[in-house]
């Protein structure tokens, strides 16, 4: 039994190990990759995915999915970007962005938790609507000329070469992780994904928990959109296209089980670093970044297939052990168990 415990405990640890090994291998091939600034860049560049993946992690914890985060990011970035461009107060702009993200999350949560609509289908729908709304809002034009002070923020280093953004993001991830594992309500997300009927019986408000997960997912996408705007400096109508897929991939690579109830936000953030480093690694290894999608796909499929096979194997083993134990007790000393 210890074996299973260790295995599950090691889920995010093995992702971290994978990241380190990957970096070392690439470093052996091209030592430039291991320069502190290069390593730092891997982390810094992952900040948008880190936030998206952490948000997505909440949706996946509860056993659902949210494929609208990419469109959410695009739309929120357009709105926040245009407000910033027009010289509004920064805090006001950020508040509007986060509010939009929260509302989108609320709608998704309502559809999934209250109306019981399969999450993939519902969020696919909101994804389409949001994508269209970006065009309606921007008229297809780029949102440009963001304040230089705002865009400059993205490259401001804090610790060594790590930017303020990444440092704050990763500290928040750690804080969230502690909240999720140490507080009563924090465990609700995992519990709902692990066994929703059981959660009902111990008095966990499952509907509320699901909605909260989606709202958090929306809010994280909105925060990611602000960082996105700052980092890129302009927002196109296709901003964030396909990011939802990469966020899901990051979660899976970070050891979060898509059946829900298993994994951590730390894992999601590690997964995000691996995900976003792929194209950089390709360049350092002398390949075209055209391999990016292929490698992401291979990585994603390999991990989920291995995970599914391992889980099935473990479940099957437990079942067989149990059956064996039942039958085996007969072949031993028959009188033995009755003496009480």
Partner 1 sequence: MNKLKKNLLNWETFLLGILIMEFIVFGAKNPKFLMPRVLLASVNDFIAICFIALFVTFVMITGGIDIQAASIVGLTSIIIGVGWQDGGMNIWTAAILAIVAAAVCGALSGFFIAYCGVQAMVVTLGGSFLYAGFALLVSNISATEAYQGISGFPDDFKIISKFKLFDVIPSQLLAFGVLIVLAYILLHKTKYGRSIFLVGINQEAAEYSGINTRLVILSTYVLSAVSAALAGIMLTSYLGTAKSDLGANLTLNIITAVVLGGTLSTGGKGSVIGTALASLVIGILRFGLPLCFKVNTQYLDIPVGILLLVVVIGRSVISRPETAALFKKLKKES
Partner 2 sequence: MPAVGTSKENNGLLSIRNIHKSFGINQVLKGIRMELGEGEVLSLIGGNGAGKSTLMKIIMGIYQPDEGSIFINGQEVHLTRPSVALAHGIYMVPQEPMLFPNMTVEENIVIGFEDKPAELHKRLVQQMEEVGWHMDLNRKASSLSIAEQQLVEIVRGLLRQAKILILDEPTSALTFDEAESLFKCVNDLRAKGIGIIYITHRLTEVFEISTSVAIMRDGIITLSGQVSEFTKEALVKGLLPADSDKEKENKEEAAHTIDYSSEPVLELRDFSGFGFNHISLKLYPGEILGVAGVVGAGRTELATTIFGRDKVLGGSVILDGKDITGLSTKKVMEAGLNYVPEDRHLHGLFKIADVAVNTTSALLSEKVMGKFLLNRKKEKEVTQKYIDDFRIKVTGQSQLTGSLSGGNQQKIVIGRSLSTSPKVVILDEPTRGIDAGARGDVYAIIHQLRKQGVSILLISSDMEEIVELSDRVVSVFQGRINGEFQKEEINQDTLMAAAFDVKTRKEVGA
Enumerate binding residues for partner 1 (CB under 8 A): 65, 111, 115-118, 120-122, 124-133, 135-136, 140, 237, 245, 248-249, 252, 258-259, 288, 290-298, 300-301, 304-305, 307-309, 312
- How far is the CA of 34 from the CAs of 23, 157, 177, 209, in angstroms? 7, 18, 28, 42
Binding partner of residue 136 among partner 1, partner 2, none, CB cut-off 5 to 8 Å per kind: partner 1
Would you say 113 and 77 are in contact if contact means Cβ atoms under 8 Å apart? no
Would you say 176 and 265 are in contact if contact means Cβ atoms under 8 Å apart? yes
Binding partner of residue 77 among partner 2, partner 1, none, CB cut-off 5 to 8 Å per kind: none
Nearer to partner 1, 288 or 331 (CB): 288
Nearer to partner 2, 21 or 328 (CB): 328
CB 161, min distance to partner 1, A: 30
CB 222, min distance to partner 2, A: 30
Binding partner of residue 329 among partner 1, partner 2, none, CB cut-off 5 to 8 Å per kind: partner 2
Binding partner of residue 148 among partner 1, partner 2, none, CB cut-off 5 to 8 Å per kind: none
The radius of gyration computed from the CA coordinates of the chain, to the nearest angstrom, equals 22
Binding partner of residue 91 among partner 2, partner 1, none, CB cut-off 5 to 8 Å per kind: none
Would you say 60 and 251 are in contact if contact means Cβ atoms under 8 Å apart? yes
- The one among 115, 136, 148, 202 contacting partner 2 by CB under 8 A: 202
Nearer to partner 1, 60 or 229 (CB): 60
Q: Comparing C-alpha atoms, which of 303, 264, 299 is closest to residue 278? A: 299
> What residues does 157 pair with on adjacent strands?
163
What does residue 162 show for φ and ψ, rounded to 5 degrees? -75, 135
**Dihedral of the alpha carbons of 182, 184, 190, 195, in degrees to the nearest 10:** 140
Query: What's CA 330's distance to the chain center, in Å?
Result: 50
Residue 330 binding partner 2, by CB under 8 A: yes
Q: Calculate ∠ Cα 157-160-164, nearest 5°.
A: 30
Residue 261 binding partner 2, by CB under 8 A: yes
Residue 57 binding partner 2, by CB under 8 A: no
Residue 14 binding partner 2, by CB under 8 A: no
Burial of residue 137 (CB within 10 Å: 0-12, 13-18, 19+) is middle
- The one among 86, 87, 327, 333 contacting partner 2 by CB under 8 A: 327
SS3 category, 10: coil
Residues binding partner 2 (CB under 8 A): 1, 4-5, 8, 182, 184, 187, 190-191, 194-195, 197-205, 261-262, 314-315, 318-320, 322-324, 326-331, 334-335, 337-340
């Amino acid at each position: 039994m210890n074996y299973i415990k260790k295995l599950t405990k090691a889920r995010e640890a093995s992702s971290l190990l994978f990241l380190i090994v990957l970096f070392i291998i690439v470093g052996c091939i091209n030592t430039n990759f291991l320069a502190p600034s290069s390593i730092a860049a891997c982390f810094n560049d992952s900040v948008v995915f880190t936030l998206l993946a952490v948000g997505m992690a909440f949706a996946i914890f509860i056993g659902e999915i949210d494929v609208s985060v990419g469109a959410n990011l695009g739309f929120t970035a357009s709105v926040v970007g245009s407000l910033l461009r027009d010289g509004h107060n920064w805090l006001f702009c950020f508040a509007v962005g986060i509010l939009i993200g929260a509302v989108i999350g609320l709608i998704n949560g309502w559809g999934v938790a209250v109306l019981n609509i399969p999450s993939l289908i519902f969020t696919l729908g909101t994804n389409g609507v949001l994508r269209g709304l970006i065009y309606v809002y921007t008229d297809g034009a780029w949102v440009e000329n963001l304040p230089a002070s705002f865009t400059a923020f993205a490259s401001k280093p804090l610790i060594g070469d790590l930017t303020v953004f990444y440092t704050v993001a990763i500290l928040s991830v750690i804080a969230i992780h502690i909240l999720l594992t140490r507080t009563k309500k924090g465990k609700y997300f995992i519990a709902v994904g692990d066994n929703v009927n059981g959660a009902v019986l111990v008095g966990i408000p499952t509907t509320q928990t699901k909605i909260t997960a989606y709202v958090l997912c929306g809010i994280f996408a909105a925060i990611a959109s602000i960082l996105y705007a700052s980092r890129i400096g302009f927002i196109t109508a296709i901003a964030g296209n396909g990011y939802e897929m990469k966020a899901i991939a990051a979660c899976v690579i970070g050891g979060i089980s898509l059946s829900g109830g298993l994994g951590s936000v730390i894992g999601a953030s590690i997964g995000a670093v691996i995900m976003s480093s792929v194209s950089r690694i390709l360049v350092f290894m002398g390949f075209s970044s055209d391999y990016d999608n292929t490698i992401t796909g291979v990585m994603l499929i390999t991990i989920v297939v291995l995970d599914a096979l391992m889980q099935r194997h473990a479940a099957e083993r437990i079942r067989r052990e149990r059956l064996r134990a039942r039958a085996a007790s007969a072949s031993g000393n028959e009188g033995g168990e009755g003496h009480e």
